Structure 1
Amino acid sequence: MIDFFAVFIFLFAVIDPIGTIPVFIGVTSLFDKKEKVKVALKATFYSAIILLFFLVAGEYVMTSIGIPLSAFQIAGGIILFLFALSMIFGESKPDVELKIAPKQSETAIFPLATPSIASPGAMLAIVLLTENSKHTIWEQTQTALVMISVLLITMVLMLLATQIHRVIGNAGASLISRVMGMILASVAVTNVLGGVTSYFSLSL
């Protein structure tokens, strides 16, 4: 049995549904209500497909090219930590992704599905949370369900984006994104330490 609360917080931090709100508003500003609903549904669907692929096949891809999961855990933790630092000290998620939004017409896929929702950090996180040697199929299924619940929350927030944005504004979304970055940084350090411990225990 997984720790549902811990996994939920981890995935909520790395997927960052709140930070997606201004991105969604920016890329759908010229769309009518019906089109906005379609974009939100498509972005959620594509994100789920991407993350489920990494959940099922991510570890097999790593092992097939001879990379031990402990090394991937260390590398993933470092990347997640750098990702968290960018959330805390760099431009906020909304600021960065709104800049790249006008470059792509298929907004449901880019920048919404990726890199906004199914970000590189989220892809790494889902692999680390479903390590085959540590988690049973049932536990991995539970993680998948938690992931889907976070994606559904993201979808609901996109559908309510206009109303929510009126309340919190860009500044509020940026603040929440930075708090999520702090949580993610702590989780990333834990992953690095766990990977180092696992690597040296296997070497001895």
Structure 2
Amino acid sequence: MSEFVDLTLLATTFFTLFVIMDPVGTVPVFLALTSRMTAAQRRKAALQATAVAFGVILVFSLFGQYILGFLQISLPALQLSGGLLLLLVAMELLMGWGRQPEASDDSANVNVALVPLGTPLLAGPGAIVAAMLAVQDADGDVAGWVAIAVALVGVHLCLWLGMRFSVVIHRVLGDGGTTLVTRLAGLLLAAIAVQLMADAVFALIEQEL
């Protein structure tokens, strides 16, 4: 099995993206943004948001290096900025700042599945950087690319399932259970953010030496 897929890279990529994109923590946000939608519209929004997030992550996984090269941005610089933004998101999760956006009166004219759900809430800088670093770790190896592909599909499947059955999940966990899971995800995300920034700082120092 390990000859066809890098199991270590698969596990690290999946769990890193899972914590960053936070399928469980997305549930209350999704419910708030789609509160005025019918059940059918909510199912459509879940599919659209997942598709947008997957498309953005896939594009940066395949062409991220070229995009950064054209803009003359180094990967450590993007990694450091992504780590800072991730730390802010982690603080929001831990402290409960701004995680419950209210649906506005203009929500009927705006496709919330595209913005802000698909991006930047799901496919944000942290997820983009994590995917690009996974591609860098694969180093062109077929088993590594297969691992990344499986991890991406798996995480986005979890995201879709979370949003698709968001009402059921929220009913089972309750407000307290959802808050607990969100706080734990925030703690893990903060650790990932600090590690990303530390690695970026060392990488930038090595570039200057």
TM-score (norm 1): 0.83
Name stretches of at least 5 consecutive residues in structure 1 with no aligned partner: none
- Distance (Å, rounded) in 2 between the aligned partners of 1:5 and 1:43: 24
Corresponding residue of 1:59: 65
Corresponding residue of 1:25: 31
Q: Report if aligned partners of 2:9, 2:147 keep a CA contact under 8 Å in 1.
A: no
Q: Report if aligned partners of 1:92, 1:178 keep a CA contact under 8 Å in 2.
A: no
Q: SS of the residue aligned with 1:85?
A: helix
Q: Report if aligned partners of 2:9, 2:134 keep a CA contact under 8 Å in 1.
A: no
Corresponding residue of 1:157: 162
Please point out which of 77, 81, 84 is paired with 2:83: 77
Please identify, of 55-64 and 99-108, the stretch whose mean Cα deviation from structure 2 is larger: 99-108
Please point out which of 136, 139, 149 is paired with 1:136: 139
CA distance 1:32–1:75, change in 2 (3 Å): closer
Q: Report if aligned partners of 1:18, 1:173 keep a CA contact under 8 Å in 2.
A: yes
Corresponding residue of 1:199: 204
The structural deviation recorded for 1:17 is: 0.6
How many residue pairs are counted as aligned between the two chains?
199
The structural deviation recorded for 1:48 is: 0.9
Q: Does 1:3 align with 2:35?
A: no
Q: Does 1:173 align with 2:178?
A: yes
Q: Report if aligned partners of 2:76, 2:203 keep a CA contact under 8 Å in 1.
A: yes
Name stretches of at least 5 consecutive residues in structure 2 with no aligned partner: 1-5
Q: Report if aligned partners of 2:34, 2:103 keep a CA contact under 8 Å in 1.
A: no
Q: Report if aligned partners of 2:10, 2:150 keep a CA contact under 8 Å in 1.
A: no
Please identify, of 189-198 and 5-14, the stretch whose mean Cα deviation from structure 2 is larger: 189-198
Q: SS of the residue aligned with 2:72?
A: coil
Q: Does 1:189 align with 2:194?
A: yes
Structure 2 counterparts to residues 63-142 of structure 1, below 5 A: 63-91=69-97, 93=99, 95=100, 98-99=101-102, 103-104=106-107, 105-131=110-136, 134-137=137-140, 138=142, 139-142=144-147
Corresponding residue of 1:146: 151
Corresponding residue of 2:52: 46
Q: Report if aligned partners of 1:100, 1:111 keep a CA contact under 8 Å in 2.
A: no
Note the alpha carbon deviations across 1:17-61, whole angstroms, 9 max, x for none: 111212222333333333322221122111111111221222222
CA distance 1:103–1:110, change in 2 (3 Å): farther
Q: SS of the residue aligned with 2:102?
A: helix
Q: Report if aligned partners of 1:18, 1:177 keep a CA contact under 8 Å in 2.
A: yes
Corresponding residue of 2:41: 35
Q: Report if aligned partners of 1:101, 1:107 keep a CA contact under 8 Å in 2.
A: no
The structural deviation recorded for 1:176 is: 1.4
